[in-house]
């Protein structure tokens, strides 16, 4: 079974580009001595980034679900897609795509933390990891095992893999049984009901329990909204479905108001509707947004190690100086974009997973 390539849509790139810059800005405003010093210059801006910047993660999750559905199951009852025998290969393919840039970032985080411990005084600098902690981080198991993450954002990569594996398993149900048989039809319906049911369970129950935040079902509210957005966008008549999706999100918010769910819901509605898609594709900023989307994963992974290096050096020479700290944060942001481009150019693109008869693993923020 070969993958069918579909025309690119501009809105996911724009969302990834904007969200990635927001989460990097959130971390730059939150971590290390530079953030403490620079806050004195713009306390309102830094306060907003510290309080609300993390909401950009919800955009990542929704876009990831949308693109996973677009790659594996572009319509809810499609008969094509990966089967149970292909599930392990898909998950490995996803891990491989995530792990190559992640491995580069892990080495950079270890080196940067060692430099910061040797020459800096920030008490929040990561400690030298034990061998088990290193292995747990390498295989995306740190949160499941209660091991500290070795860099900011590593938790998201682990959750992305869990979510993809879970959704791919749900999609694989539709290939059980002979095509067209009663069992096959029942499993296709079960696949859709399972996906939507898990999304609703997460929105109304699982997402309210912070003890579950190391597991994919906790985040399936946002990821499932992205899947639903893809399925709705594939329908020729989508007004009623858009209203139904908005009503479900509204009901969950009435049950328990969560800013993160509100952001996820709005993002899903935008992806399901995709207003002004052709205008975005022709917009003068579109090439820049596409570039930022491509480099988003590498920039996201490497901005924290760069912050450790730049922050330690600048704070050592100009301690507690707001203006040098602010300029150093701008420099860190620029270096992060450059590092993201380098990772995309020399790590992500040249060493793609081997071609197979499996559908291509979906592209997302963590897989531009």
Instruction: Place 7 in a pLDDT band, splitting at 50, 70 and 90.
Output: low
Instruction: Supply φ then ψ for residue 303, to 5 degrees.
Output: -70, -35
What number is the average pLDDT over the span 97-121? Answer: 97
266 with 215: CB under 8 angstroms? no
Query: From CA 11, how far away is CA 20, in angstroms rounded?
Result: 14
In the chain, the percentage of residues whose pLDDT exceeds 70 is: 93
| pLDDT at site 276 | 80
Residues 239-256, buried b or exposed e (16+ Cβ, 10 A)? eebbeebeebbeebeeee
Q: Is the pLDDT of residue 356 over 60?
A: no
Q: What is the mean pLDDT of residues 154-168?
A: 98
**Which residues sit opposite 367 in a β-bridge?**
364
Residue in the structure block whose two tokens are 């919800």: 58
Q: Are 18 and 12 in contact (CB under 8 A)?
A: no
Distance between CA atoms of 78 and 53, rounded to whole angstroms? 37
Quick one: pLDDT at residue 6? 57
Q: Decide if pLDDT at 269 tops 90.
A: yes
Per-residue pLDDT tens digits for 58-95 = 999 999 999 999 999 999 987 778 889 999 999 999 99
Two tokens, residue 258: 């969560």
Rounded CA-CA distance 15/273 in Å is 14
**pLDDT digit string, tens, across residues 31-50:** 999 999 999 999 999 999 99
Residue position matching structure tokens 């490497």 = 302
Q: Is the distance from CB of 352 to CB of 101 less than 8 angstroms? A: no
- Mean pLDDT, the chain, rounded, equals 92
Q: What is the pLDDT of residue 8?
A: 67
318: pLDDT strictly greater than 50? yes
- State the pLDDT at residue 78: 78
Q: What is the pLDDT of residue 179?
A: 84
């Amino acid at each position: 079974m070969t993958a069918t390539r579909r025309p690119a849509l501009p809105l996911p790139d724009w969302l990834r580009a904007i969200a990635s810059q927001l989460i990097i800005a959130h971390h730059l405003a939150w971590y290390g001595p530079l953030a403490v010093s620079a806050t004195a210059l713009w306390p309102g801006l830094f306060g907003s980034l510290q309080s609300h910047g993390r909401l950009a993660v919800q955009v990542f999750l929704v876009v990831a679900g949308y693109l996973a559905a677009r790659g594996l199951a572009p319509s809810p009852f499609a008969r094509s897609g990966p089967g149970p025998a292909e599930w392990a290969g898909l998950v490995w393919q996803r891990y491989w795509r995530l792990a190559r840039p992640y491995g580069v970032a892990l080495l950079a985080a270890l080196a940067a933390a060692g430099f910061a411990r040797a020459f800096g005084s920030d008490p929040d600098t990561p400690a030298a990891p034990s061998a088990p902690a290193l292995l747990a981080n390498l295989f995306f198991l740190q949160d499941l095992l209660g091991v500290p993450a070795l860099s900011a954002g590593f938790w998201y990569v682990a959750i992305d893999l869990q979510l993809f594996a879970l959704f791919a398993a749900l999609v694989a149900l539709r290939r059980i049984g002979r095509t067209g048989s009663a069992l096959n039809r029942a499993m296709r319906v079960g696949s859709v009901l399972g996906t939507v049911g898990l999304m609703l369970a997460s929105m109304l129950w699982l997402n309210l329990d912070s003890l579950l935040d190391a597991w994919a079902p906790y985040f399936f509210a946002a990821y499932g909204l992205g899947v639903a957005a893809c399925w709705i966008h594939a329908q020729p008549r989508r007004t009623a479905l858009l209203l139904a999706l908005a009503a479900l999100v509204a009901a969950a918010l009435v049950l328990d108001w969560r800013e993160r769910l509100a952001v996820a819901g709005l993002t899903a509605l935008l992806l399901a509707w995709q207003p002004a898609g052709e205008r975005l594709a022709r917009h003068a900023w579109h090439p820049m947004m596409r570039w930022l989307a491509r480099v988003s994963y590498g920039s996201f992974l490497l901005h924290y190690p760069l912050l450790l290096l730049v922050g330690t050096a600048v704070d050592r020479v100009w301690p507690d100086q707001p203006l040098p700290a602010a300029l150093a944060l701008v420099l860190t942001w620029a270096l992060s974009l450059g590092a993201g481009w380098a990772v995309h150019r020399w790590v992500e693109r040249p060493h793609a997973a081997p071609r197979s008869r499996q559908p291509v693993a979906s592209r997302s923020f963590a897989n531009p």
